[in-house]
Structure 1
Amino acid sequence: MANEFEYYRIHRKNDKDVPLLDEDTNCPTYLSLKAPVENPEMLLFRLGKPVPKKPIMADYHSTPKSVISKKIFDVLNPFNISGIQLLPSKIRGKNDEIFTDYWAIHIYHILKCVDVEQSNCSITFMLSNIKKIVLDRNILKLIPLRERLVFRLKEDPAFQLFHVSVVDSIMATNPTGIAFTNIEAWTDRTLFQN
């Protein structure tokens, strides 16, 4: 497969009307766990500050973790992706209205796979000064593609990576609020360009 090692970082589209999210009062803190959650409770989110004047509920929001609508859930769920859970969520809106049919993506599959020799970035407890990130194909090829469709980088767990096959399926639905950038084209300035 020509694109076996093609991965994209998921992030919010730069749209001032699509709000960021914060965890609401009494929201379980599952998303930082490095294991699946047994019998998860409903996750509760609220609009993050600054709240847009006219917030638009989109198909993708970040907390900075990923929260998706039913449209994207319906794409991801049939993949039965190893290492992730889609956790039921609700979002409290600007006027305390409740938006249902949202899911948080809990990615507990973590891979150390940045090619240190080929990349041009600082790697400490996170990635910084990023001019270029290259994934180590020698590490990735040891893992069947089915087991690495979605994962977080051990070098920086904020980097949630999606294989191109998953990205193409999501983007075919014309979702709102979401952007993907090829990880090998990612720089420190990428978030401000989309």
Structure 2
Amino acid sequence: MMDSYDHDYFIVLNDYHEQTIYTKPFKKTANRNYEFEKLTLGQEPLFFENGYKEEAIENGINLPVTDVLMDGVLPIISTKLRDKIKHMKFKGMQLYPSVYIDDKEQWHEDYWCMNFWEEVDYWDKEKSKLSKTSQKRLAANPNALVVDIYKYVLDADKLDRIPLSERLIFKMDRGMGYVFIHYELAKILMEDNPSGIKLVRVSQFEEGMQF
């Protein structure tokens, strides 16, 4: 099943080009630890802006606001995309109301940040490609937190034991902490070719290729 899992899953990446928006959270949002703690629905939305806002304004660059904004590795999806999957229950993740304030101070209130509060270790420690330093670190301490992963191979034994409904999407521990999505979810989200997001099959991904 190993090859099948590496074929069935995709890593979620920013769609890098000259007009890519690199979002950053407002301070009040960053202080809420939304990257790893479960937020309470009904509280204030998360707020984001262009991380290079000043440079864009100085150079007269008007960046188009895309269907998906990436906050590092975390997707922030439009209401249109959210509506496609809002009926689904995800393990360890919820879609949380978010606002993107563009360089002209216009509020875009139709966004939803993927709020993960669980990370999983569904990568094969023996077969994934790591830096030599990380290989030594992991050999000395299997629970080492800082691990550089260049190429992922998914752990078929672990995934075999988990129902698909509980692993349609997950955030991997260590490495860059990427979000992985199963083909069944990917085909729903990518149906209308949304802007601002790129999916790379796990079997084809190698760290650095996305830039």
What range is the shorter-chain TM-score in?
0.7 to 0.9
1:43 aligns with 46
1:125 pairs, out of 123, 126, 145, with 145
Q: Are 1:142 and 2:161 counterparts? A: yes
1:17 aligns with 19
Unaligned runs of 5+ in 2: 135-143
Please report how far the alpha carbon of residue 33 of structure 1 lies from its aligned counterpart in structure 2 after TM superposition.
Answer: 2.4
Instruction: Report the TM-score when normalising by structure 1.
Output: 0.87
After TM superposition, the structure 1 stretch with the greater mean CA deviation from structure 2, 87-96 or 114-123, is 114-123
Q: Deviations over 1:128-154 (max 9, x none)?
A: 261x31001001111111111111112
1:173 pairs, out of 171, 176, 192, with 192
Please report how far the alpha carbon of residue 127 of structure 1 lies from its aligned counterpart in structure 2 after TM superposition.
Answer: 4.4
After TM superposition, the structure 1 stretch with the greater mean CA deviation from structure 2, 17-26 or 166-175, is 17-26
1:109 aligns with 118
Q: Are 1:155 and 2:189 counterparts? A: no
Alignment of 1:36-75 (within 5 A): 36-39=38-41, 40-49=43-52, 52=56, 53-64=61-72, 65-75=74-84
Runs of 4+ in 1 over 6 A off after TM superposition: none
What amino acid is aligned across from residue 116 of structure 2 in structure 1?
I
Unaligned runs of 5+ in 1: none
Q: Check conservation: 2:128, 2:149, Cα contact below 8 A.
A: no
Q: Computing the radius of gyration over CA atoms, which structure comes out larger, 1 or 2?
A: 2
Instruction: Report SS of the residue matched to 2:62.
Output: coil
What amino acid is aligned across from residue 110 of structure 1 in structure 2?
E
Q: Check conservation: 1:120, 1:133, Cα contact below 8 A.
A: yes
Q: Which has the higher strand share?
A: 1
Q: Deviations over 1:83-113 (max 9, x none)?
A: 2111101111101111110111112232112
Q: What is the root-mean-square deviation of aligned Cα atoms in Å? A: 2.2
Q: Deviations over 1:1-47 (max 9, x none)?
A: 9956621111111132231111124225242224x322442101111
Q: 1:101 to 1:49 in 2, by over 3 A?
A: same
Identity of aligned residues (%): 22
What amino acid is aligned across from residue 145 of structure 2 in structure 1?
F
Q: Which has the higher helix share?
A: 2
* Cα distance in 1, alignment partners of residues 108 and 36 from structure 2: 25
Q: 1:30 to 1:76 in 2, by over 3 A?
A: farther
* Cα distance in 2, alignment partners of residues 180 and 145 from structure 1: 19
Instruction: Report the TM-score when normalising by structure 2.
Output: 0.81
* Cα distance in 1, alignment partners of residues 4 and 189 from structure 2: 17
Q: Check conservation: 1:133, 1:185, Cα contact below 8 A.
A: no
